[in-house]
Amino acid sequence: MKPARLSLSRRRLVVMAAGPALLVLFPDPSPAATPTAGPEAVVKHLAERAWALVHRDDLDQRSRIDQLTELLKSNTDVPLLSRLVLGRHWQQLSEAQRAGYEELFGTVVMRNFARRLDQYANSSSGSLDQHFQILGEQPAGHDDVLVRTKVLTQAGDSVDVDWRLRTRDGQSVIIDLIVEGASLLVSQRSEFAAVIERSSLDGLLAELRARAAQSSES
């Protein structure tokens, strides 16, 4: 069966266009923020570590993307995010398929974000304070916290971003970004659901495998 192509809705394009500016704020996890730090402090620490990393000039493009991909994975709850994106279809997977899907999700989605981050970083200049401001935090449900921030692009545009964090193993990790009210998690879920509707769950897995193979070559 020919893999179904993943397509982008207009709303998803808007969210993903802002993605590079947002994802530049993910950090180098070593040294990590202290487990007792509040979510706002964690986000600030992440921004500072990431800004230093993406402005290194001793790495070629592929090496930067490789490292950025791993940084994104290490600071995101990829297993939880991948399940939330798949929604009710998660129950249809076998244990082996679940493990394979989580790995593919991390490789494809995180590496795609890393590429966009790299593109954004190459066009950015100045200090972190010129591009990123923390506005505060607020509870989100029983388990999560939203850290409210504003991202200023190189072109001078202002983008409101909410970082949704949850505690995992004593450390706050990101499980979603809400860009101008549009959730990246929800946007990705809609894209995957559309592929499944057209070509079944097997079609989605086949497409993810094809994109993972392509990613490993670039």
Q: Give pLDDT, residue 130.
A: 86
Q: CA 56 to CA 127: how far, in whole Å?
A: 14
Domain range list for the chain: 10-215
pLDDT confidence band for 3 (50 / 70 / 90):
low
Task: Give pLDDT tens digits for 13-70.
Answer: 444 444 444 444 443 444 444 445 678 887 887 778 777 777 888 988 888 888 878 8
For the chain, what is the mean pLDDT?
A: 80
Q: Give pLDDT, residue 86.
A: 95
**Does residue 154 register a pLDDT over 80?**
no
Least confidently predicted of 28-32, 73-77, 136-140, 146-150: 28-32
Q: Give pLDDT, residue 122.
A: 63
Q: Label residues 50-82 b or e (16+ Cβ within 10 Å = b).
A: bbebbeeeeeeeeebbebbbbbbbbbbbbebbb
Instruction: Read off the pTM.
Output: 0.75
Task: Give pLDDT tens digits for 194-209.
Answer: 999 999 999 999 999 9
Classify domain 10-215 by CATH number: 3.10.450.710
